[in-house]
Structure 1
Amino acid sequence: MRKIVVMMFVFGMLFACKDNSKGHEESKIETTVEAVVDSIVVQEETPVEKKISVRALKDSLTSKGFQTFEYVDAKTKDTVLMQQYFIAFLKKGAVRNQNEEEAALLQEKHLKHLGKMYELGYADISGPFGDDGDIRGITIYNVPTIEIADSLANSDPMVKAGRLEIEVHPWWAAKGFQLR
């Protein structure tokens, strides 16, 4: 998938360039294309992370204070490790009288906060809901306790301003499974 996106980008660059001075511009484009292709090759050649055992992963999580349990999948006979996460529902807050400029600034700070939570490894996924209901979005926190999740969620600038309120619940998911 990454290759397709990069190739589309490269072709887009090629078609977007003007045909003013062919010699020098074509050389620049060829150099750029070569650099992108070289980076693709380097990315493909990087070693894949070594998969650790379920037991080692469970021991590591338990030592950090996470709640886990495991079960054997009846169909595959694989051991599946479940971990407790915390899902924070971001709900409409009582203070929604900010003007357009203030609301836009809060939104910018809110997104920066969520990005930081993701970068630091505290949140695994965040996103808004597609309707205009009272629950505006969710964040799934990957932390050992509900108190930590609640503290992180309440440090969001939107929550501090009262535009959003937080409701946190424990939530279980299998380690290593992905959305599809």
Structure 2
Amino acid sequence: MNVFKSAVQFCSHCITLTALLAASSSFAAPLAATIDDFSHAQNNGLGIERQYLSDVLAGGSTTTEQVQKEGILYLKGSILPPRGQPGWASTVLPLGPEGQAQDASQFKGIRMLIKVSAGNISITANSTEVTNFDYHAKPIAVVADGKFHEVNIPFNTMKRAWSEQTALNTKALHSLSIVAFSPQPGAFDYAIDEISFY
């Protein structure tokens, strides 16, 4: 009987320990403020590989060249839109592995250190709640003077382009995208020194 009682107690301790381990694994580490300082050739500051997408996926012919050098990411190219659609080239910075949502609700917005020499550039906050790719976005307006400028984008100023306006859920962000765009053929040329939450 004592052996049986000891076995039951041991099993109950195992179950409790397993439950505790499972519960602790569901708590994600807080999201870091710095998303990318571009010190690594392929990975962002969170250790996740950057992704590059363009309108080629939709029948366009946009070309992009990316060069990472001395902590700066240089991007330039030519936008050749698909028929009847705007053209675009996007640098995607994932916030978690495999597109998992991350909680950025402790922050007020996005801060960038960016230099724009040519083209239209915007930043998007990509949420798992948006399923039609019309993510919350904000154009980046800086003078093309050959200098880096600090730009702060509050989350509450970011809007969707063609869908019903909904509030951005900052607890469900899976990535940020820096997007060069144009409704007509044209060139873009910009450089990013740092991007972070604030």
Measured against the shorter chain, the TM-score band is under 0.3
| Larger relative contact order (Cα-Cα within 8 Å, sequence gap ≥ 6) | 2
Larger Rg: 1
TM-score (norm 2): 0.24
Structure holding more strand per residue: 2
More helix by share: 1
- TM-score w.r.t. structure 1 length? 0.26
